[in-house]
Structure 1
């Protein structure tokens, strides 16, 4: 018995460098990235990174819990249950306002499907105390679509020793946010100060949005300052529920479910299109109204395995992107 126990502990110790548990073959494919280094960042900044989680198995992947390695780290999981052939993200945000120098952090994610396993996702950064951002990121909060998109701003203060320190250039990751930098001169203490303002653009997608503004400086020790941009853009048209799981369906069998498409003002559904012909949709009653009942009928194909399709719902609401409804099923013999 003792010999068997020692062998078991040895296996756990070896696999503990990355993950802990049994049946670990799927982990490397599902989580190809398990460590990220932010490099040098400004104190006060909210730095975030999203680890992709891709289900390449024929079973669902389920997250049951997670724990952070530091109280400065916040975690957002896109979906706890990930059906076969789909993906989500595990996003971690570090608040750098209370630390200086090298800072390791991260989290441990606990799965119970396809097998029980604990996976460590590690984050590192070096926090500069002579550059401070207030607040730590450009956060728009919850945004409802309108003709005038919202703006937000923050202040950058430099208290370092580089003579004539300045921001020489600015760039954004995408064209979905417009940024403007303004030189505020010097503070009462003689520190260089800048104001950074950002405005969301109409082409931003619905849902959780993130971008990054990079400020390039003439400091050779910190030539780039990353600034996170986040928003939760809410659609004028919502589908409830937003995800349909038909569950296990026998080959050739049909199953029907109903969803509600609604808005704060009357509208008409102009078109509904599914990625796959096995998914059919119909509206209970046409015409302009605040809520529409849509019936979905899924006929399972003859081939067994995971199934997923997206239903696109277009409306007559001006400048409103089409609503998306994700559907999943497992076709059984």
Structure 2
């Protein structure tokens, strides 16, 4: 009867594989669960999980599945070289629910080992507070613009003098105001929540949150998500370069395009580390330039990353940035 020893050996092999997979998973996910607390019905609430590759191998995200039809997922890079990271953003639409709500997603990874990772989300959705639309979405805006978005907040609870006593944002890039607008026929108190994006907002994908504190005896706060895509006046393409495996002392050169809607001159080309250097095309103001980025691999083996800045003479425009990654192979 050799079946029992074979089954035991198979089980031991599976247990060992699971333990290895679980050990590296624990190191690359700083967080695998998040509780939004109390939220208004109709809110679109956002949370971003990070995957930081602290292993010695490349990580590949093959797929994912959500735990509720109310949840959307946006994954950054699906191939994560060692020493780099990516983000997994989950958005829950609370419009059709009240009370406790659990959701999240399962991330399917097939390298360096096959593993499924649960990223869990929880919230409590108040039926007596509604928000329309469910988030402050400025959309795509040019840097230095100051767009304004307004939302309607309704309270249908049993506190006659219910009010928002304090508002705060996570950064100083957004200004928020709340004004009462009266009551509906059925007694709901109505408010207009306005948010203005300041010109100080940085370039790129911007997220923030307005926290509403009320005089509700429960002490619950109401989060309101903020998002915007702030475009640079100057764009570098590609904005990320993976130089791959490079031998110590060897040199790799990549060409990038720098463009804008108006003519400009390149003023400074600078790498955050000495191994990166840049050479621009001939001088002259025009809306498109090419830059050769040269990387000379250091002697020390292992993961390498650095940022390359490209400055222009456009007024109030910060330097455009290019991120570079490499693995120095002995």
**The 10-residue stretch of structure 1 (278-287 or 52-61) with the greater mean CA deviation from structure 2:** 52-61
Q: Does 1:329 align with 2:323?
A: no
CA contact 2:214–2:220 (8 Å) conserved in 1: yes
**Residue of 93, 96, 102 corresponding to 1:95:** 93
Q: Structure 2 stretches of 5 or more lacking a match? A: none
**The 10-residue stretch of structure 1 (52-61 or 244-253) with the greater mean CA deviation from structure 2:** 52-61
Q: Structure 1 stretches of 5 or more lacking a match? A: none
Distance 2:273 2:161 in 1: 60
State the Cα deviation string for residues 282-305 of structure 1 (Å, max 9, x = none): 101222110110001111111111
The residue number in structure 2 matching 1:220 is 217
CA contact 1:24–1:115 (8 Å) conserved in 2: no
**Residue of 277, 281, 285 corresponding to 2:282:** 285
The residue number in structure 1 matching 2:206 is 209
Q: Which of structure 1's runs of 4+ aligned residues deviate more than 3 A?
A: 1-15
The residue number in structure 1 matching 2:236 is 239
| Change beyond 3 A, Cα 1:3–1:119 | farther
Distance 1:204 1:316 in 2: 20
The residue number in structure 2 matching 1:157 is 154
2:21 aligns to what SS in structure 1?
A: coil
State the Cα deviation string for residues 297-318 of structure 1 (Å, max 9, x = none): 1111111111111001111112
**Residue of 140, 143, 162 corresponding to 2:141:** 143
Q: Does 1:168 align with 2:182?
A: no
**Residue of 23, 26, 32 corresponding to 1:25:** 23
| Change beyond 3 A, Cα 1:107–1:3 | farther
1:26 aligns to what SS in structure 2?
A: helix
| Change beyond 3 A, Cα 1:228–1:11 | farther
Q: Does 1:185 align with 2:185?
A: no
What is the CA distance between 1:222 and its match in structure 2? 5.0
Say what the alpha-carbon RMSD is for the aligned residues. 2.0
**The 10-residue stretch of structure 1 (64-73 or 185-194) with the greater mean CA deviation from structure 2:** 185-194
**Residue of 56, 65, 68 corresponding to 1:67:** 65
Q: Does 1:250 align with 2:234?
A: no
CA contact 2:263–2:287 (8 Å) conserved in 1: yes
CA contact 1:311–1:326 (8 Å) conserved in 2: yes
**Residue of 288, 294, 297 corresponding to 2:294:** 297
CA contact 1:67–1:108 (8 Å) conserved in 2: yes
State the Cα deviation string for residues 53-105 of structure 1 (Å, max 9, x = none): 11112222221111100010011112212222222221101000001111110
The residue number in structure 1 matching 2:193 is 196
CA contact 1:62–1:113 (8 Å) conserved in 2: yes
Distance 2:81 2:15 in 1: 30
Distance 1:4 1:236 in 2: 65
Distance 1:3 1:227 in 2: 58
| Change beyond 3 A, Cα 1:135–1:92 | same
Distance 2:105 2:188 in 1: 36
State the aligned residue count: 328
CA contact 1:155–1:195 (8 Å) conserved in 2: yes
Q: Does 1:54 align with 2:47?
A: no
What is the CA distance between 1:253 and its match in structure 2? 0.8
Q: Does 1:317 align with 2:314?
A: yes
